Amino acid sequence: MSDKKIYHLNDKTLKYAAMAQSERLHQYLGLPGEYEAMYPQEITFPNMDTGRVDDYHTTKEGLLIDVEEESKDVTEKTLKKFGKYVIFGEFMYSRKLYIAVICHKDPTNYPEYYERSPSVYIKMHYYYFPQDELWEKYEKVINKVEQKEQLTKIEALDIAFVPKFISKDSAPFVTETLSKAFEDAIINDKILKMDVGVLLGAMIIKNVDKRKQEKLLEDIGMKQIENRIKRLAADEVREAERKNLKLEQDYKQVKEELNQFKEENRQLKENNSKFKEELEKLNNLPNLTPEVKSVINSLIILG
């Protein structure tokens, strides 16, 4: 038995892969709106039951999107689960929700609406890639790479997502050949290429025999990709530090201004108190006319 070390994606890479998949899958499926941010997947219902959505993310237009992936039939039990996710998401994040269900089986006969209650219906949006369509995408990418033609954005994403949605029997072969093609693929957008690479790396770990993983990960430049991710993470840390420093400086300035205001207010109260004392002394002088006393009393009250 071989004792060769099994390759593992590091924590930063896994976190980056999750975020990259959320954003790139949004683009690949053609979901509504412009992707904004990924939200927590763990949820707790009012009765303290817990659950986990496949992907919550928001759009810049203010929409919350729940992407769920189902390898089996969508049943009444499945719809009930989705209904809970929709109700929770809209309540928790105060956003309208769009639920996208990626189906591995043809969803033609699945219900379009789920009756959550007599007055609440939830519309399902199903996404399905027939196997022949996935093979067409695969062949097109392979041919364009061989012809040294630049890939479009969607064709580049095909490299990441065809291995994810192709049948389990074909997944190892497709992942392996697309990994070899990725090395020569012309993808001018550097961030897109890095995202495709890290998603493809996850598919290699999932679909390919462990004996071949190391070589394929080398072929797609996974170590270089991980190094770039580390640099990005370091940049994010530095940016966070700069923001924290700016916040500290702003806080210090506000605190100084507040202290100055407190001191000025103290001086004002002290002067006002002295002024009142002088008015009281003046009010006690003999031979003051009623008019003068009235004016002095008014000043005391105003003070």
User: Which of helix, strand or coil describes residue 55?
Assistant: coil
Q: The tokens of 195 are what?
A: 């995202």
Report the C-alpha gap between 157 and 151 in whole angstroms.
9
Whole-structure pTM over 0.95, yes or no? no
More confident residue, 115 or 154: 154
Mean pLDDT of 179-194: 91
For residues 48 and 44, give the distance between their C-alpha atoms in angstroms, rounded to a whole number: 6
Residues 16-23 have a mean pLDDT of 87
What does the pLDDT read at residue 234? Answer: 53
Residue 104, CA atoms < 13 Å, CB-side half-sphere: 14
What's the rounded Cα separation, in Å, for the pair 79 and 114? 6
SS3 108: coil
* 290 pLDDT higher than 80: no
Residue 237: what pLDDT?
A: 46
- For residues 101 and 124, the answer to whether their CB atoms sit within 8 Å is yes
Q: Are 208 and 33 in contact (CB under 8 A)?
A: no
Does residue 105 have a pLDDT over 80? yes
Task: Give the closest residue to 135 by CA, choosing from 105, 106, 158.
Answer: 158
- The pLDDT tens digits of the residues spanning 164-182 come to 999 999 999 999 999 999 9
pLDDT at position 125, please?
A: 96
For 48-101, what is each residue's pLDDT tens digit?
777 889 999 999 999 999 999 999 999 999 999 998 898 888 888 889 999 999
pLDDT tens digit sequence for 203-243: 988 888 888 888 888 888 877 777 777 666 555 544 544 55
For residues 133 and 143, give the distance between their C-alpha atoms in angstroms, rounded to a whole number.
Answer: 15
Tell me, what's the pLDDT at 262? 78
Q: Is 66 helix (H, G, I), strand (E, B) or coil?
A: strand
Tell me the residue type at 185. A
Residue 260 pLDDT: 79
Span 24-51, pLDDT tens digits = 999 999 999 999 988 888 887 766 777 8
10 — pLDDT class (breaks 50, 70, 90): low
pLDDT tier at 116 (50, 70, 90 boundaries)?
A: confident
For residues 279 and 303, the answer to whether their CB atoms sit within 8 Å is: yes
pLDDT at 25: 95
Of the two residues 165 and 257, the one the predictor is more confident about is 165
Whether the per-residue pLDDT at 244 is higher than 60: the answer is no
- Share in percent of the chain as helix, strand, coil (round to 5): 60, 15, 25
- pLDDT value for 52: 86
Q: Which of 14-23, 189-198, 273-282 shows the highest mean pLDDT?
A: 189-198
> How many degrees, rounded to 5, is the angle at CA 140 between CA 134 and CA 141?
95
Mean pLDDT computed over 109-133: 92
The pLDDT of residue 1: 41
